């Protein structure tokens, strides 16, 4: 009889221990609900970053004209950086050119874009083209711009095309007559477009 009672108590003890553990532990459904709640709650700072990204989208497009490596010589050696020229515009007549330097292309581009947005130039258009032809010279750079019929498109090189597209001009004929430097040609094109007037004085 004693042996039988000992066997019964041994058989019951693990089951009781299991019951105690199961009553104290949380149910699997509750743990899953807790995990879901934690995942759905936004982290601190994520919402502010999303707002900043949405706020930077102000309708301006950018086009990289030139990327160059610039080396500065110090006493202990040389330091290499990147110089980027960017054309920024809203394709509605507002254009700007900026130059930025940084350790990588992204940093240099951000500096150039911020500078170009602060120095925008308004260009007067006549429909999708310019009002009259113009030949403009600055330094060694010289450019010729001529209005074109609808459907002609943009006949221009890379740097001149970037400025014209960001200005929103769709039909124009251009020719670079002076220097072949892309940066100088972009600047002289911007000044030539800014000098065009659609109204008589």
Give the pLDDT confidence of 127-159 residue by residue, as tens digits: 999 999 999 999 999 999 999 999 999 999 989
CATH annotation of 56-121: 3.30.160.20
Domain boundaries, the chain: 56-121, 124-194
For the whole prediction, is pTM greater than 0.85?
A: no
Determine the Cα–Cα distance for residues 143 and 186; give it in Å rounded to an integer: 10
Fold of 124-194: Ribosomal Protein S5; domain 2 (3.30.230)
Confidence of residue 197 (pLDDT cuts 50, 70, 90): confident
The predicted structure's pLDDT at residue 58: 74
d(CA 152, CA 76): 56
Determine the average pLDDT of the residues in 18-38.
Answer: 50
Q: For residue 107, what are the contacts with CB-CB under 8 A and spacing of at least 6?
A: 100
Give the pair of three-digit tokens for residue 167. Answer: 């200005």
Looking at residue 200, its pLDDT comes to 52
As a whole number of angstroms, the distance between CA 91 and CA 168 comes to 4
Residue 11: per-residue pLDDT: 52
**What does pLDDT average to over the chain?**
80
Long-range contacts of 59-63 (CB under 8 A, 24+ apart): 59/90, 60/88, 60/89, 60/90, 60/113, 60/117, 61/88, 61/89, 61/90, 61/91, 61/166, 62/86, 62/87, 62/88, 62/109, 62/113, 62/116, 62/166, 63/87, 63/88, 63/162, 63/165, 63/166
pLDDT in tens, 41-65: 445 444 433 333 333 457 899 999 9
């Amino acid at each position: 009889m004693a042996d039988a009672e000992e066997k019964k108590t041994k058989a019951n003890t693990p089951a009781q221990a299991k019951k105690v553990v199961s009553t104290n532990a949380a149910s699997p459904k509750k743990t899953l609900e807790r995990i879901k709640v934690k995942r759905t709650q936004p982290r601190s700072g994520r919402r502010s970053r999303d707002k900043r990204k949405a706020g930077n989208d102000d309708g301006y497009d950018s086009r990289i004209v030139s990327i160059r490596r610039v080396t500065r010589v110090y006493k202990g050696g040389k330091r290499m950086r990147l110089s980027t020229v960017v054309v920024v515009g809203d394709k509605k007549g507002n254009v700007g050119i900026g130059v930025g330097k940084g350790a990588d292309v992204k940093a240099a581009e951000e500096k150039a874009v911020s500078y170009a947005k602060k120095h925008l130039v308004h260009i007067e258009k006549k429909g999708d083209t310019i009002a009259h032809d113009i030949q403009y010279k600055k330094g060694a750079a010289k450019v010729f711009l001529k209005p074109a019929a609808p459907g002609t498109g943009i006949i221009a090189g890379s740097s001149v095309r970037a400025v014209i597209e960001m200005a929103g001009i769709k039909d124009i004929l251009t020719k670079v007559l002076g220097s072949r430097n892309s940066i100088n040609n972009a600047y002289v094109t911007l000044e030539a477009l800014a000098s065009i007037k659609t109204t008589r004085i």
